[in-house]
Amino acid sequence: MRGAVSRAILLRTALAVLALGTAGVLYGFPLYWLFVTSLKSKAELFASSVHLVPHNPTLAAYSSVLIERGFWVLLKNSVIVCFSTVVVTLVLGLLITYPITRLPVPPRLRVNILIWALSLRFLPPIAVVIPYFAIVRTLQIYDQPIALIGIYSLFNLPFAIWMLKGFLEEIPLELEDAALVDGANRWIAFWRVLLPLAAPGVMAAGIIVFTFAWSEFLFALILTATPNSQTFPVGVQGLVTQFEIIWNDMAASGVIAMTLPLVLMVIGRRYIVAGLTFGVIREK
């Protein structure tokens, strides 16, 4: 009896390991291939057979992308755009979530704001970019970072509102009340008491907004034209759709594009799922 049970458990574990292992390989291999391709030299790409392991790994493709093609400028644009987006989104987000979580506002208003923010999540970017494109040209901010910052902030605001709301709600009202009784005004209570306590959450929201803005491609493709404001994903796309495809440069640009989000993810990993589901799913 006991032997049968443990054999069944053993079998089940073996099957589970097999399934997870297969999934792991299927998952990892494309990324491995991206990385390996980025390390190949041009000569190796023109070899008669495709090598699954690079014979003479080199960083040539990276310097080709960043320096010879001048993509470091796009990288800089991306950082500027994303960082500004984070600042604008967080300030707007706090301006909206602070009153609805800490101050006496009618519950209906609060719910309507939240539901409205959620509805923005369903807004299809392509339908918005068509009129936004006309506005951007009228305002003469076409091919300027500010055009991207504006639209990115708008599209990330719903996330920020829902996440910040979740974090602010967790902080007991009594802590601020105590500060107010001690003679602090609302601003000081916010700045000295609430914000330090909410800092991890605000940071997490910032990291997620940064990652999303970093990945954005459609708006950047449409609203930029030159290295003056093009972001990195637009550069990657340029390498893919050009006439002669240079695999190692393309792969290197892919690796560069995913490096920063992956590093940030290590810091903000506990909040990613919360962010993607508007804080409905909370990790412990």
Partner 1 sequence: MKGARAGRRRLSRDERLAYMLLLPALGAVFVIVTIPFVLVIIQSISAEDGTLVGFRNYSRALANPLLYDAIRATGVYSLIVLPTEILLGLTFALLVHRTVRPQGLRAAIYVLAILPLVVPPVAIGVVGRLVYAPSYGVLNVILERIGFVHHEVNWLGDPTLAMLAVASVDIWQWTPFVYLVLFSGLQTVPRESVEAAQIDGADWWAQFRYIDLFYLRPLFLLIVFFRLADVLRVFDHVFILTGGGPGTTTQLLSLYMYRVEFKYFDSGQAAALAVLVLVSFSILYRLISRALPLERT
Interface with partner 1, residue 99, by CB under 8 A: yes
- Residues binding partner 1: number (CB under 8 A): 87
Give the residue, chosen from 65, 164, 179, 236, that forms a contact with partner 1 under the rule CB under 8 A: 236
Helix 195-215 / helix 145-169 crossing angle, nearest 10 deg: 140
Asked if 223 touches partner 1 (CB under 8 A), the answer is no
Positions in 104-133 near partner 1 (CB under 8 A): 104-105, 107, 110-111, 113-115, 118-128, 130-133
Query: Is residue 244 a contact residue for partner 1 (CB under 8 A)?
Result: no
Containing 222, the helix (H) or strand (E) segment is: helix 218-223
Q: Is 276 in the site for partner 1 (CB under 8 A)?
A: yes
Token duo for residue 232 = 């990195």
Residues from 171 through 200 that contact partner 1 (CB under 8 A): 186
| Interatomic CA distance for residues 134 and 137, integer angstroms | 5
Write out the two tokens for 221.
């493709």
**Applying CB under 8 A, does 272 fall inside the site for partner 1?**
yes
Structure tokens at 262: 């992956």
- Touching partner 1, residues 57-76 (CB under 8 A): none
Residue that is written with structure tokens 């041009």 in the block: 42
Task: Give the C-alpha separation, 267 to 148, whole Å.
Answer: 26
Per-residue interface string for the shown chain with partner 1, residues 5-24, x marking contact by CB under 8 A: -------xx--x--xx--xx
- The two tokens of residue 67 are 């320096």
- 206 interacts with partner 1 by CB under 8 A: no
